[in-house]
């Protein structure tokens, strides 16, 4: 039996069309996948602090999402990475905030003296696909009379993002003499830009006087 040419063409076209699959959705670039691990900030002011126990870090809001070692390629900071474990990662993604079209600010929880309770701000360059600069943002540590406390107020204003830091360092005047501990308070101001953290101010200060302002943002 001979089939008309028009019918054969119709059947062939139908067969081809039936084999076509629905268009696939574009796969996000690896850098975008990495950035998606961080929660986007929805406020222009945030207090960055940490604690000596897990409950305090969770209360502060900086427990974060544990990073698989597969994401280490995006972090270009040898000083940080030398403290990071191998397959058992101890880096945690917390928050991100846009600085400009090319640069994202990333807030990590990272290892410190005894455990992973330090908080650091990284600057991530989208064009390079890696972090380029970083700044310690929160520390809480103490041992035998020595202690180090650092907290950061991150704010966005008309001139962009700024960092206001308050630091207290304490130590015994004489070794192992816990009755003669002295402390020094300092404050720092940085402006965040694509080039890094520009220091605007550094001075000795009385953290106790700044505490009422800090307390407005602290979750402790």
Compute the distance between CA of residue 3 and CA of residue 68 in angstroms, rounded to an integer: 61
| Res. 6 pLDDT band, cuts 50 70 90 | very low
pLDDT, mean of residues 207-219: 64
Query: φ, ψ for residue 65 (rounded to 5)?
Result: -105, 125
Query: φ, ψ for residue 49 (rounded to 5)?
Result: -145, 170
pLDDT of residue 65: 92
Flag the least confident range among 3-12, 113-122, 169-178, 207-216: 3-12
pTM confidence score: 0.80
Compute the distance between CA of residue 210 and CA of residue 203 in angstroms, rounded to an integer: 13
Read off the pLDDT of residues 119-140 as tens digits, 9 standing for 90 and up: 999 999 999 999 999 999 999 9
Read off the pLDDT of residues 59-84 as tens digits, 9 standing for 90 and up: 889 999 998 888 888 998 877 777 67
pLDDT of residue 94: 96
Average pLDDT of every residue of the chain: 81
**In the predicted model, is pLDDT for residue 15 greater than 50?**
no
Structural domain boundaries in the chain: 28-217
Compute the distance between CA of residue 204 and CA of residue 212 in angstroms, rounded to an integer: 18
Compute the distance between CA of residue 147 and CA of residue 182 in angstroms, rounded to an integer: 10
Closest CA to 181 of 192, 168, 194, 193: 168
Read off the pLDDT of residues 176-187 as tens digits, 9 standing for 90 and up: 767 778 889 999
pLDDT, mean of residues 35-56: 92
């Amino acid at each position: 039996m001979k089939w008309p040419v028009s019918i054969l063409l119709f059947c062939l076209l139908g067969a081809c069309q039936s084999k076509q699959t629905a268009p696939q959705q574009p796969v996000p670039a690896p850098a975008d996948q990495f950035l998606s691990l961080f929660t986007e900030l929805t406020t222009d002011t945030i207090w960055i602090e940490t604690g000596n126990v897990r409950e305090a870090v969770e209360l502060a809001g900086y427990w974060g999402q544990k990073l698989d070692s597969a994401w280490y390629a995006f972090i270009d900071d040898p000083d940080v990475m030398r403290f990071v474990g191998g397959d058992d990662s101890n880096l945690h993604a917390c928050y991100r905030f846009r600085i400009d079209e090319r640069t994202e600010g990333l807030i990590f929880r990272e290892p410190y003296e005894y455990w992973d309770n330090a908080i650091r701000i990284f600057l991530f360059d989208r064009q390079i696909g890696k972090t380029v600069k970083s700044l310690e943002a929160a520390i809480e540590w103490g041992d035998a009379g020595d202690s180090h406390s650092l907290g950061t107020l991150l704010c966005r204003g008309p001139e962009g993002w700024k960092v206001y830091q308050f630091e207290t360092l304490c130590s015994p005047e004489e070794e192992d003499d816990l009755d003669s501990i002295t402390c020094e308070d300092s404050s720092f101001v940085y402006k965040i830009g694509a080039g890094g953290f520009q220091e605007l101010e550094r001075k000795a200060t009385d953290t106790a006087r700044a505490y009422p302002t800090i307390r407005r943002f602290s979750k402790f």
